[in-house]
Structure formats: structure tokens, C-alpha cells
Amino acid sequence: MSAIGDILHLLITANLWQATLAAAILLLLPALGGTISERSGVVNIAMEGMMLTGAFFGVAADLAWHNPWLATGVAMLAGALMAMVHAVVSIQFRADQIVSGIAINIFAAGLTVFLINRIYGLQDVGHVDQSALLPNINVPGLDQIPFLGKVFFQQNVIVYVALVLLVLTHLVLFRTRLGLRIRAVGEHPQAADTAGINVFAIRYGAVVTSGLLSGLSGAFLAIGISNTFVPNMTDGRGYIALAAMIFGKWTPFGAFVACLIFGLGQAIYDNNSIIHISPYLLSMLPYLLTLIVLAGLVGRSIPPAADGLPYVPGSE
């Protein structure tokens, strides 16, 4: 049977879409973080580093305490700490936010391996037992719905959390007071400041939130999907999340759609034992698509007005 035919056949299997959703969520969390951060005017390409740090500390904590929830908290905290560095450097010191982001990613990758050496020595990072992993949960009843049940209600707990966060992020950004202020700060910090809004507080909060979400994604990767830490296991997802954020035009649901597309590509490739697909084209897919979006072929993508601009109080 032809590869195309095989793929079409795959597309009607619930398994494929179940895998797609899981893969998408892994990207969605950092993408949401990036969206929040950039809506507040702080460019964030450091999700990769925050995610990696989260993954490492998540595993370390889980191995120590055999408690996935605690570990997840630690992972988020670790991501948030990395984010804090980015925040201090780019908000307080008004550093170039892209350079700071690159530095974070290099730093995180270097630090995690450095710490493996210190903590585990030659013994590799151990393996978390099944019992201490973030569990897969089948939603009683709903999981029996044909097709949709498997896709949406037989997933890891983090998937459900992420979907809630997706809706939450959308509501917060576009329906709440806080969201109004975040967007105001990202559009016109001076205006926000003169309106009595604490620009720095908002931006710090937004960046740290992006760290929390990236850290959560790291935990999902390390102690949800797999059960150990492998150097650089994030494998560039932070950058794909960045692409998804732009693809989604800085909106949560837009980013989600992008993540689904990228996730689908991965899910299809996962079947290469059954059907032959060139790994290369599929691996390029997210980046090519993003270029196409940027090329305006699928509508232009316009970021917040003050995205990437440090705020200098009293300046006009």
C-alpha cells in the first residue's frame, strides 16, 4: 500500500490522535508560557532551557521522594528560577532579551549535565518506578466514548491539566482585569505605568509564569512520558513551542492548533515501523510551516507592540 494511503488509513485511528494530543501538550505548555511572557512585552526564547531544567529537577526530586506531585512542583519551581534569571537580566538590567534567552538555554544545558556529575556521578540518573510517575488517568465513563474517549479521556494527568490551563490562559488574557493589564503592559508600558499599573511586577509575573509552565512541561516529559533524565532530552521542543506561539499569533488557542499540527507530524512518524516515511521531511515540517506562516501565506502574525522593548520608567 502506498505511503499516502497508509497515512490516510492512520488518520482514522484513535491511537494516532491520542499520540498527537500527548505530543502536542508537551509543546503547548511552553507555548502558553511564551505567549503570556510576550503578551507582557518580554521576548522569551528560553523555554527550551526552562523545560530542560524542570525535567532534570523533576527527576531528581522524584527519585528522592517518590512523589510525582512534589516532583512536579519542584520542576515548575526550577523552571521558574531559570525564568527569574531571564526576568532580572532582561527587565531589571534591560538586557537584550534574545541574547538573555540564548544564554539561559546554554546555561541550562550546561548546568544539568554538570549537576548529573555532582549528584549521580558515573551511575546514571536512576529510573523512577512506575508508581512514582505522573499517572495516566482514564476518565470513568467518558473514556468509553468511541474514538473521542481514547483521544481525550485516556491520557496522562498533565494532559488534562494542560487543557484546563489552555482555557484558563485564554480567559485570563482576554477576559480578566489582570489580562487587560498584562496586554496593556505589552502594548504600551508607559501608558500602563501612568495608569498606576506596576509594569515591572506584571512583567516579572508573566516571565516567571512562563517558567512555571515550561517546568511543568519538563516534568511531563521526564516523569510522565519517560521515567528518567537524559542530557538534552527536551530536544529543541522549546524552540518548536516558540514557533507554535508565533504560528498561533500570540493567542493560546492559536498556539494549540499549531502544537496539534506539529504533534500530528511526530505521531505519524512514530509509525514508521509500519509505513515508510522519510524522517527528514517530517522533522522539518514544524519549521517549514512556521516559515510559511511568517511569510504571511496563512495570514500575518503580529506581536504585541512593546514586545522585546525594555521599559525605562519616565521615558517617552
Residue 134 beta carbon to another protein: minimum distance, rounded to whole angstroms: 11
Q: In the range 32-91, which residues lie near another protein by CB under 8 A?
A: 38, 43, 45, 48, 52, 85, 89-90
Which residues are CB-neighbours of 20 under 8 A, at least 6 positions away? 260, 263, 264, 266, 267
Alpha-carbon torsion, ordered 15, 153, 34, 69, to 10 deg: -120
Alpha carbon distance 219, 72 (integer Å): 6
> Hey, what's the cell of 49?
532551557
201: contact with another protein by CB under 8 A: no
CB 115 within 8 A of CB 56: yes
Alpha carbon distance 233, 220 (integer Å): 12
Of 26 and 213, the one with the shorter C-beta distance to another protein is 26
**Interface stretch with another protein, choices 63-71, 108-116, 158-166, 252-260 (CB under 8 A):** 108-116
Residue from 76, 132, 246, 264 in contact with another protein (CB under 8 A): 246
CA distances from 191 to 179, 200, 309 (A): 15, 13, 14
278: contact with another protein by CB under 8 A: yes
12: contact with another protein by CB under 8 A: no
Residue 280 beta carbon to another protein: minimum distance, rounded to whole angstroms: 4
Residue 237 beta carbon to another protein: minimum distance, rounded to whole angstroms: 9
* Amino acid residing at 253: F
Alpha carbon distance 55, 266 (integer Å): 20
Residue 203 beta carbon to another protein: minimum distance, rounded to whole angstroms: 14
Of 43 and 80, the one with the shorter C-beta distance to another protein is 43
> Hey, what's the cell of 230?
537524559
Residue from 192, 213, 241, 244 in contact with another protein (CB under 8 A): 192
Residue from 104, 206, 213, 260 in contact with another protein (CB under 8 A): 104
